[in-house]
């Protein structure tokens, strides 16, 4: 079972996926690293200071890694909702996201672009459009441990086929950042 862990950069995907791996032993594919190392990109976006992923290559590579296995694999990337049918979208309020990203060597323009994308629910909207099952976790005021526990709960419910009522609290659409100052 392939689970995409998606969300705007800074929402905590890599941190949470590492902890879920430590808790449950699930395989985690850090897609951004893979794209860089295996040259799964078509070019470099100089303005955004980022690689332009070749999604056909990325999908094919991930399929090759998974093979016939139906073991749980977590795909850590803001692009994972283009590949996985089941995704968990991590969220953070724009103010908190901006603060987290200020510790990265991002330009102010890149920070603002990400903060605005989060405020506009861009990745959530794309996920709902592309994926079969979408869950959402707000990481704003909770520890990485709590986020990892929530991810584990979602995966457990999916594995047991009781992801209906049980996972209502992860149903997307309850967050509203419109009052957030950023
Ligand atoms: P992503 O992989 O989504 O870009 P990271 O896991 O790299 O995000 O986390 C970005 C930053 O935010 C890191 O400094 C990390 O320590 C911090 N962080 C991640 N999750 C949380 C959380 N739940 N609460 C507070 N800080 C967090
Ligand atoms: Mn990351």
Tokens describing residue 40:
């799964």
Q: Whose CA is nearest to atom 8 of ligand 1?
A: 12
Q: Cα 125 vs. chain centroid, distance in angstroms? A: 13
Instruction: Provide the 8-state DSSP code for 167.
Output: G
Going from N- to C-terminal start, the domains of the chain cover: 2-174
Quote the pTM value. 0.96
Q: Can you give the pLDDT at residue 181?
A: 60
Mark out the alpha helices in 51-121 (DSSP H runs): 55-66, 94-101, 108-119
Q: Check if 106 has its Cβ closer than 6 Å to any atom of ligand 1.
A: no
Q: Can you give the pLDDT at residue 56?
A: 97
Residue 165 CA to ligand 2 centre (angstroms): 30
Q: Which uninterrupted H or E stretch holds 155? A: helix 144-159
Q: Check if 100 has its Cβ closer than 6 Å to any atom of ligand 1.
A: yes
Express each pLDDT in 83-100 by its tens digit: 999 999 999 999 999 999
Express each pLDDT in 144-181 by its tens digit: 999 999 999 999 999 999 877 878 999 998 888 877 76
Residue 76 CA to ligand 2 centre (angstroms): 7
| Angle ∠(5,6,11) on CA atoms, nearest 5 | 105
Residue 6 main-chain phi, psi, to 5 deg: -115, 180
Q: What is the CATH number of domain 2-174?
A: 3.40.50.300
Q: Quick one: average pLDDT of 15-39?
A: 97
Q: Quick one: average pLDDT of 113-132?
A: 96
Residue 90 CA to ligand 1 centre (angstroms): 10
Q: Which atom of ligand 1 is the closest one to the Cα of 9?
A: 4
Ligand 1 pocket check: which of 100, 105, 149 to mutate, most ligand atoms within 8 Å of Cβ? Answer: 100
Q: Which atom of ligand 1 is the closest one to the Cα of 8?
A: 3
Q: Can you give the pLDDT at residue 178?
A: 74
């Amino acid at each position: 079972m392939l689970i995409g862990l998606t969300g705007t950069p800074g929402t905590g995907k890599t941190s949470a996926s590492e902890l879920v791996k430590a808790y449950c032993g699930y395989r985690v594919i850090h897609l951004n690293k893979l794209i860089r190392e295996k040259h799964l990109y078509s070019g470099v976006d100089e303005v955004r200071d980022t690689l332009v992923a070749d999604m056909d290559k990325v999908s094919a590579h991930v399929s090759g890694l998974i093979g016939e296995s139906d073991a749980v694999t977590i795909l850590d990337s803001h692009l994972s909702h283009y590949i996985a049918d089941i995704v968990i979208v991590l969220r953070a309020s724009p103010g908190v996201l901006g603060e987290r990203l200020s510790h990265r060597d991002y330009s102010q323009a890149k920070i603002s672009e990400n903060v605005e994308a989060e405020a506009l629910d861009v990745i959530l909207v794309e996920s709902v459009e592309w994926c079969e099952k979408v869950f959402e976790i707000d990481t704003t005021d909770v520890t990485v441990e709590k986020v990892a526990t929530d991810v584990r709960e979602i995966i457990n419910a999916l594995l047991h086929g009781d992801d209906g009522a049980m996972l209502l609290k992860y149903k997307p659409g309850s967050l509203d950042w419109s009052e957030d100052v950023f």
